[in-house]
Amino acid sequence: MLGLSNLGSREIDRKMIEDIGLPGVVLMEEAALGIYYAMSNRYNLEGKSIYIFVGKGNNGGDGLALARILFNRGFLVKIVTLFDEGYSNEAKLHLSVAKKMGIDIEPWNSLLAKPDIVVDAIFGTGIKGDLRGIVKEAVDWIGMSGAKVVAIDMPTGLIVDMTIALGYLKFEHLLSNDLKNIYLVKLEFTSNLENDIKEADKLHYLNAVEAGKILPSRDLEGHKGTYGKVGILGGRKEMLGAGLLAGKSALRSGCGLVTLWLESFEGILGLEPELMLEGWSLFLNKDIDILVIGPGLGREKNLDLEETLRSFKGKVLIDADGLYWLKMGWIKREWIEGEVVLTPHPKEMEMILGERLERRESVLKAANIYNCVAIIKGFRTLISDGKSVWVNLTGNPGMATAGSGDVLSGIIGGLLAQGIGTYKAVILGTYLHGLSGDLGVRVLGQESLIASDLIEYLPKALSRVKTVVDNMKIVEKIY
């Protein structure tokens, strides 16, 4: 799935109107119908009073077209105006039609009765700067009305119950932690125009349907070698749990065999009987497909990795303390022949770049400097191959717990071992990691979620993406 910047979205609109020749009023009709379906999906509109606050531009035009659709279906709708003049040509046309149809139209400052539902069609993505004057006064009135507020594209400084994005999710939808219940109205005319939009104006994201398509099918005649072998280097004696978490999550994600190379495994033998345990002295003494370096490795150089890494031909994921080793030069990118994945949190990203950058800029820079697929963890984890950027929409604050990153490393390692392409494996692994957390907090709550819970809910997350049915036609609930 694809999200756009406001600039990219406006360019799509321009292409549809100027290049293809679709009138703006036609686009508003398509949008308004989708808005109606989205509202009907969330609310029982029967008997509810619906006030649509309209601005002068295209967002107001969408609201005016919606008012006519609601009116024709017998709903109690009122158009509330903020301005006497200055409407765009399309909005002016819809306003004229509404007047001729006899739809109730009233200036906001003469309102007496309070509505059940308010539709915010004032500015949308066209909002700029602080609210002032009559707009601020109207928004304050809405806020005090007690009505459920539905925003078209973006709220006008309001806390809303529902946001309906038109055509594409915008960067603000994908990255904001303030917006809830976002619905996407897909417009039928737009998909063949995306290729001409600059990558800087794009932000890709995964949904459950697409996630299910990435997962490989299981071979009836397969064996553990079919599904790949993961090796994990980490586990200083005081941090053995990190390696165990990564190893078990790799197995739960579907790989065939996992070997942990630990400083010591005294006291943990038999805790996870499916894992192969060996000491550091035997590092890379057997064939593996994927190498994960870092979970519990520590920040003292007790191993010389150059010779073994130069001889290894598979893919390498570097996380946690492994990123410190990378910064110190104890691991170097040029030693690794295969593709590399880096999974830092913001402080680790700052460490390996040597500077603090905006999140999108930092993940792109890391991917290019280290010739890798990089992520930057956190709310709305970002993922990049140095060209495009993906945002992960799953996950919650309960996952800010010790060992959560080790589980992510194991999941990605296990997916890589099954032959999924590197970029897709990282995108899917991040999605499944967050989805496991989302499923877990429904039962355990955010305060009680711990890293091992993510592993326990990973099978449910895998089942969810494998069985989901895409019955979302015009309207798609995002999160």
List, for residues 271-328, the tens digit of each pLDDT value.
889 999 999 999 998 899 999 999 999 999 989 999 999 999 999 999 999 999 999 9
Mean pLDDT in residue range 370-391: 98
| 189 pLDDT more than 70 | no
Nearest to 127 by CA among 103, 153, 105: 153
Judge whether 58 and 32 are in contact, CB under 8 Å.
no
CB under 8 A, 24+ apart: contacts of 17-23: 20/189, 22/189, 23/90
- Over residues 313-348, the pLDDT tens digits come to 999 999 999 999 999 999 999 999 999 999 999 999
Q: Is residue 478 part of a domain?
A: no
Q: Distance (Å, rounded) from C-alpha 149 to C-alpha 163?
A: 9
Q: Which residue bears the tokens 């990605």?
A: 412
| 475 pLDDT more than 60 | no
366 and 270, same domain (yes or no) = yes
Nearest to 202 by CA among 169, 166, 164: 169
Q: Is residue 474 part of a domain?
A: no
Q: Is residue 318 part of a domain?
A: yes
237 and 371, same domain (yes or no) = yes
- Percent of the chain residues topping a pLDDT of 70: 97
Contact residues for 244 (Cβ-Cβ < 8 A; gap 6+): 235, 260, 268, 271, 272, 275
Print the domain residue range for 408: 209-468
| 267 pLDDT more than 80 | no
Q: Is residue 204 part of a domain?
A: no
Q: pLDDT-derived band of residue 268, with 50, 70 and 90 as boundaries?
A: confident
172 and 258, same domain (yes or no) = no
Number of domains in the chain: 2
Mean pLDDT in residue range 249-253: 98
Q: How many CB atoms lie within 10 A of CB 305?
A: 20
Question: What's the burial of 69, exposed, middle or buried (CB within 10 Å: 0-12/13-18/19+)?
Answer: middle
| 108 pLDDT more than 70 | yes
222 and 136, same domain (yes or no) = no
Among the residue ranges 234-243, 357-366, 373-382, the one predicted with the least confidence is 234-243
Question: What's the burial of 308, exposed, middle or buried (CB within 10 Å: 0-12/13-18/19+)?
Answer: middle
CATH number of residue 380's parent domain: 3.40.1190.20
At 474 the pLDDT is 37
At 270 the pLDDT is 76
Point out the domain boundary residue: 165, 197, 229.
197
3-class DSSP state for residue 61?
A: helix
Q: How many CB atoms lie within 10 A of CB 421?
A: 14
Question: What's the burial of 11, exposed, middle or buried (CB within 10 Å: 0-12/13-18/19+)?
Answer: middle
At 126 the pLDDT is 80
Q: Distance (Å, rounded) from C-alpha 90 to C-alpha 95?
A: 9
